[in-house]
Structure 1
Amino acid sequence: MTFNTYQEEAKKTALYPEAYRLLYPTLGLVGEAGELANKVKKVLRDQGGTLTPEAREAILQELGDVLWYVAQVATDLGESLDAVAQANLAKLRSRQARGTLGGSGDHR
């Protein structure tokens, strides 16, 4: 499956008011990212860092939810996930070529 295929299929399940385009999926993305982080935290706290098959599956489920919201943000911005991914890789390659992968700041 491609990013664009996923995005098109995910869009069919997006049920939120037009008035909240961009806002709704952005807030959802933050919430789901928090749930993902919480699952990882519990692996550290409750399982001493040992990733059980059940914990792995739960983390992957949350990651899927994060992906859905990322797709909706891109959709609401009128952009394809393929284009977002390509632009991100171009940015990272540029940083790598200039030796600025590490560090901070958006424009390095």
Structure 2
Amino acid sequence: MTGVPADSGALTLREYQERAALTAKYPDAGHNPIYPTLGLAGEAGEVAEKVKKVLRDNGGQFDAAAVAAIRKELGDVLWYVARLAAELGLDLEDVAQANLDKLASRQARGVLHGSGDER
């Protein structure tokens, strides 16, 4: 990626978010949460499409080529998640920690299964 520093080992979510910003080239970047939201939906659909083709073409077996293709799409999903978080003034590490805290609370209360955001 142009403008992105070379890999120096483990990457934190905060570093990823900062480095992703270097490639944010879309209308009104920095003040436009709509663009990364739409991109996220599109890329998540591409992940689902790759998985669907594994079912259709490979009998549900994920070979190395399928995993490599899905990996690329997941990278795009991650980029859009990072950009959407940034557009909303959210730190991706805080988002990740809050999600783990929420899941741990649900697990402790025995409500991992079920539906609804407020369980």
Shift of 1:16: 1.2
Q: With a CA cutoff of 8 Å and minimum separation of 6, indicate the structure with the bigger relative contact order.
A: 1
TM-score between both structures, scaled by the size of structure 1: 0.96
Matched to 1:72, the amino acid is R
Which string of whole-angstrom CA distances, capped at 9 and with x for unpartnered residues, describes residues 37-94 of structure 1? 0000100100111111111100000000000000001000111110000100111111
Give the superposed CA RMSD: 1.1
**In structure 2, what is the equivalent of residue 81 of structure 1?**
92
Structure 2: gaps (5+ residues): 1-10
Give 1:1-108 correspondences, 5 Å limit. Answer: 1-18=11-28, 21-108=32-119
Aligned structure 1 segments of 4 or more residues deviating by more than 4 angstroms: none
User: Number of matched residues?
Assistant: 108
Tell me the TM-score normalized by structure 2: 0.88
Structure 1 residue ranges without an equivalent (≥5):
none
- Equivalent-residue separation in structure 2 for 1:7 and 1:33 (angstroms): 18
Q: Give the secondary-structure state (helix, strand or coil) at the position aligned to 1:18.
A: coil
Distance 1:57 1:74 in 2: 26
- How big is the shift at 1:103? 0.3
- Which has the larger helix fraction? 1
- Decide which moves more: 46-55 or 32-41: 46-55
Identity %: 64
